[in-house]
Amino acid sequence: MASHNLFPCLLPLLATLLTQAFAADFMYPFNCSATIKTCDASLYHINKGLQLEQVASFYNVNITQISPIFRGDEQDYFVSVPCSCQDINGTIAYFYDASYLVQQNDTFRNVSDLIYSGQAWNDGDEEGRFITGNLVPMHLLCGCVDSESQVVGTYTVQQNDTISDIASRLSSTVSGILSLNSALIQDPSFLVVGWVLFVPMKQIDNGAPAPSPSPYMN
């Protein structure tokens, strides 16, 4: 009898786990503005062991477009890219395209997760084009806002993240993050690892996001 009584108690937990499993795949592209066609944006690259030269190559940028950012004791990177309004198979939104040469045993999902921090948009036929030797565009989500003092960063939620922590680390605000991600964040206290967020960040004079302080600085 006791085992039967446990089942109703497990239902909320199972529902939560299923919600998280599906929600982790959710990403919403940043809708284009009627007045802004292009802008400078930043993509947050989660450092999984790539050398700086490799990061630059995969994102098709110069090393000077890459800035370090600290997450606790870990050093990740911001990649500055030109963001533009595009029509990707019927989805009109802001993207940055990086060309990727498909290697043996690659899948779109693995490449997106391991190299592009899960920020690549699947237009519905990506796996069909992921053939060894093909040069394929990776449509990376980015965003533009009508503000000279802000740049939009594309950020992938990581373990133990909270909105306030993200805001502090990326020179943003909780309200700013909520305003750009209302379709995804229904409860400010609930984040799922893998969600792709747009973060309005303060920028310095050269157009790059203001860097987070090193954990080793006083």
- Is residue 210 a part of any domain in this protein? no
- The per-residue pLDDT of the chain, averaged, comes to 85
Q: Sort 126 into a burial class: Cβ within 10 Å, 0-12 / 13-18 / 19+.
A: buried
Whether the model pTM is above 0.75: yes
Residue 24 lies in a domain: no
Q: Are 114 and 48 in contact (CB under 8 A)?
A: yes
Query: Given this model, what pLDDT does residue 95 score?
Result: 98
pLDDT score, position 176:
96
Give the pLDDT mean for 12-33: 61
Measure Cα distances from 46 to 68, 125, 179 in Å.
Answer: 11, 26, 24
Q: Which residues contact 168 (CB under 8 A, 6 or more apart)?
A: none
Helix H segments across 43-171?
Answer: 52-59, 108-114, 126-129, 163-169
Q: Which domain holds residue 59?
A: 38-202
Tell me if 160 is assigned to some domain.
Answer: yes
pLDDT on residue 218: 32
> Does residue 185 lie in a domain region?
yes
- What is the average per-residue pLDDT within 133-157? 94
Report whether pLDDT(21) > 60.
no
- Residue 172: inside a domain: yes
Q: Is residue 114's pLDDT more than 80?
A: yes
Q: Is residue 196 part of a domain?
A: yes
CATH number assigned to the domain comprising residue 169: 3.10.350.10
Q: Alpha carbon of 8 to those of 14, 21, 22, 179, 197: distances in Å?
A: 10, 21, 22, 37, 34
Closest listed residue to residue 87, CA positions, set 117, 112, 123, 126: 123
Q: Tell me how many domains the chain contains.
A: 1
pLDDT for the residue numbered 128: 82
CB burial string 163-178: b at 16+ within 10 A, e below: beebbebbbbbeebbe
Given a cut of 70, whether residue 100 has pLDDT beyond it is: yes
User: Shortest CA distance to 142 belongs to which of 208, 81, 59?
Assistant: 81
Does 171 reside within a domain?
yes
User: Is residue 211 in some structural domain?
Assistant: no
Please write down the HEC assignment for all residues of 148-194: CCEEEEEEECCCCCCHHHHHHHCCCCHHHHHHHCCCCCCCCCCCCCC
Q: Which of 192, 180, 190 is nearest to 141 (CA)?
A: 180
Using alpha carbons only, give the angle 83, 194, 208 rounded to the nearest 5 degrees: 35
List the one residue out of 207, 196, 66 whose CA is nearest residue 149: 207
